[in-house]
Structure 1
């Protein structure tokens, strides 16, 4: 879409975006209307928008889409997930949907490693101990990540970034996915297993599969 086509478009912004991104939209000549995602059902919400830009919190469902038709043409989400958008209804109404797959994959992978280390090293308990004036060195010694078995459910963009980072910690990595990734298996020594095997043999399990009806409640009382 050229800049001239963007100029004059009226955009509904449902959540806080980075100031740089807002600036780019304004420089392109768009009119931006900020509206709290929790108040999208408010009768006072204007309906003359060409596009919606939001994140994962608001629900772009049939009710909202119907309110914004016939002018609404684009739904844009600032992330990879599309589970909050009624894709089928958007397709029926000719509304184009855009996401940003992989945009936060590295950040999420780093966060997973951080949380795993925090848990193994009892970091929160150590911090509380120090703040309380105690130095429980031996009681809160924790464990190493090295030598553990790490199970990954879903080897998409986040999963592959995670594997790359975990490889340096000398862990055994199991994974399950709807398809095998032979390239990653050869490069990092991954082991492709079914979900039951992964859950039974892993010390740590992390889930990075797509959220839809087939993966909803993938982890529950029965699987745990």
Structure 2
């Protein structure tokens, strides 16, 4: 078996390469390449491990014909075109926890620097001025810290602030009341935070919703004398407005580790009294650099060798432990999606995935992705689990997930339903011996069949002699039948026939089958 091949294109801890090799990957460490040079070599790699220097653009992705996964050693993925990578079926991962403590500690350090004016005091002391009476700071004890963003890093900052005897209020639309209680913070709206906080720290990604979250208007709502720290992303704070409010004295101090444009060699804020700047040092500790390098190597190798998906930004996470358990379910899901995709004509505005019984206890997200990959395979020859949800959204398909707690006729059941012009149509399947996918229902008709290889699907009137006629037709044309699966709604009513055959069914045989008495539909299937 050929080993997956990985390229490390940015400088990172050398132990990352060792982990790739130990876990069954070939690895090349080639750093400092220009975009044109990277395009020349990227086509031979299955995985790409980067930091912030490599820009994974549309052009690079187009050249990466074998690429399956991109791993960013760190949190920010501004340098990766995630939507285009998704459309090409490439998993994009980051390592959001490897530098969380380091970034949180930097925010706390900058908060102290502002509270006691440490950079200015240091500069004047070393200049021989001894300005003992020139710097009157403030204590952090008893002050209110406002967190904008209460995720992983924000929660660490809150924990450290509690140790400093600060009161913590948090604005985060995704923060549940239960989680707020667990963190020991008061969940508030943004305007309330701005009015109450003595210190404000930002810990949120840069999105359309968070861009300029501290706009000129919002900065004007802050408490007079507030101190602001941003170690998250440039663009969260209106830098021009911040300069004006520092000059006016409304904002008592501000510390930025990140800027809209980096590297920030020149900036209007530089030299402003009570302003502290650091050159994007949030993740810059020895521990953090080792951690993110090791984590990205572990994540990429787990995906390429075992199928585990961790910290992915464009596909459901799937641990290496979950992957073996879900593998037969995902095979079933893909086959059911493929079946309904091949049998459905016209537009499909909605696809629903229902789970019953044991399937309810599992991670449904990978099954949903597998259903969509099978369903859309008739529309795209490059679809896979990664880009299937992206393609479904692009085509305006609503995707629903439904869990049914009760256990029906089967220990586990997966049902795929599609909304069509003719109404709702569904297929259902189960696993025999917890491993072998089987179709058990087709458009309301009970039928048991294995979905594999080349098959014929026939809808006919249930009447004597039909089986003999179809068998004769196939025999006369040298088509060998592997399995023969029948189902019907009622005696004399509509029936379905699923045949597995040893090879592709010629078009003229299908045409002849459609002329047989009682046949309503005949088509070839492939799995």
With the shorter chain as reference, the TM-score category is 0.7 to 0.9
CA distance in 2 between partners of 1:10 and 1:222 (Å): 51
- Contact residue 146 and residue 199 of structure 2 kept, 8 A: yes
- Contact residue 47 and residue 70 of structure 2 kept, 8 A: yes
- Contact residue 109 and residue 158 of structure 1 kept, 8 A: yes
Counterparts of 1:69-80 in structure 2, within 5 Å, are 70-80=65-75
- The equivalent of 2:16 in structure 1 is 21
TM-score relative to the length of structure 1:
0.85
CA drift at 1:141: 3.5
- The equivalent of 1:178 in structure 2 is 173
RMSD (Å), alpha carbons: 2.3
Are 1:121 and 2:109 counterparts? no
CA distance in 2 between partners of 1:52 and 1:147 (Å): 47
Residues 43 and 136 (structure 1), Cα distance of their counterparts in 2 relative to 1, 3 Å cut:
closer
- Contact residue 83 and residue 212 of structure 1 kept, 8 A: no
Structure 1 residue runs of 5 or longer lacking an equivalent are: none
- The equivalent of 1:32 in structure 2 is 28
**Out of 205, 215, 220, which is 2:200 matched to?**
205
TM-score relative to the length of structure 2:
0.38
CA drift at 1:26: 4.5
Counterparts of 1:50-69 in structure 2, within 5 Å, are 50-68=46-64
Counterparts of 1:1-224 in structure 2, within 5 Å, are 7=3, 9-27=4-22, 28-36=24-32, 39-42=34-37, 45-47=40-42, 48-68=44-64, 70-187=65-182, 189-224=184-219
- Contact residue 59 and residue 84 of structure 1 kept, 8 A: yes
CA distance in 1 between partners of 2:215 and 2:37 (Å): 35
CA drift at 1:44: 6.8
CA distance in 2 between partners of 1:111 and 1:147 (Å): 21
Name the SS for the 2:168 alignment partner: strand
Residues 35 and 111 (structure 1), Cα distance of their counterparts in 2 relative to 1, 3 Å cut:
same
- Contact residue 13 and residue 35 of structure 1 kept, 8 A: yes
- Contact residue 5 and residue 25 of structure 2 kept, 8 A: no
Aligned residue pair count = 217
User: Cα deviations across residues 82-107 of structure 1 (Å, max 9, x unaligned)?
Assistant: 34322222222111222212221111
- Contact residue 50 and residue 74 of structure 1 kept, 8 A: yes
- Contact residue 72 and residue 95 of structure 1 kept, 8 A: yes
CA distance in 1 between partners of 2:45 and 2:208 (Å): 30
Q: If you compute each CA radius of gyration, which structure gives the higher value, 1 or 2?
A: 2
- The equivalent of 2:340 in structure 1 is none
Residues 43 and 125 (structure 1), Cα distance of their counterparts in 2 relative to 1, 3 Å cut:
closer
- Contact residue 75 and residue 94 of structure 2 kept, 8 A: yes
CA distance in 1 between partners of 2:47 and 2:217 (Å): 42
Higher relative contact order (CA 8 A, sep 6+): 1
Higher strand share: 2
Structure 2 residue runs of 5 or longer lacking an equivalent are: 220-527
- The equivalent of 2:399 in structure 1 is none
After alignment, is 183-192 or 146-155 more displaced? 183-192
- Contact residue 38 and residue 60 of structure 2 kept, 8 A: no
- Contact residue 6 and residue 48 of structure 2 kept, 8 A: yes
Residues 65 and 127 (structure 1), Cα distance of their counterparts in 2 relative to 1, 3 Å cut:
same
